[in-house]
């Protein structure tokens, strides 16, 4: 089974600017070990006769809308509410 050390978790956290106290490090360590164990269980399942699927639905095509450019007459109207929201935020 692949394992991870608490030191490795701290190094990963440092890369992403997270700081863990000892109590939270213990929680993250235990949860990540459980996660790795679950991955190992999934990898042990025999899938030799299982057909590969790409989607959970019978359709295998993109159902998103077509991206069509739109000319905006009043672009200020779209950004007005955003500017009002930002002005209400006060960072201290």
Range 51-77 average pLDDT: 73
Confidence (pLDDT) at 57: 64
b/e map of 40-79 (b: 16 or more CB within 10 Å)? eeeeeeeeeeeeeeeeeeeeeeeeeeeeeeeeeeeeeeee
Confidence (pLDDT) at 83: 59
**92 — pLDDT class (breaks 50, 70, 90):** very low
pTM attached to this predicted model: 0.49
Model pLDDT for residues 5-35, shown as the tens digit of each residue: 999 999 999 998 888 889 999 999 999 999 9
């Amino acid at each position: 089974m692949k394992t991870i050390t608490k030191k490795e978790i701290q190094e990963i956290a440092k890369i992403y600017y997270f700081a863990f106290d000892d109590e939270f490090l213990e929680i993250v360590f235990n949860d990540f070990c459980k996660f790795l164990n679950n991955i190992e269980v999934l990898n042990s399942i025999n899938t030799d006769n299982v057909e590969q699927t790409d989607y959970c639905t019978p359709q295998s095509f993109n159902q998103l809308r077509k991206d069509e450019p739109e000319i905006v007459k009043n672009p200020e109207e779209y950004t007005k509410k955003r500017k009002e929201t930002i002005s209400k935020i006060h960072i201290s």
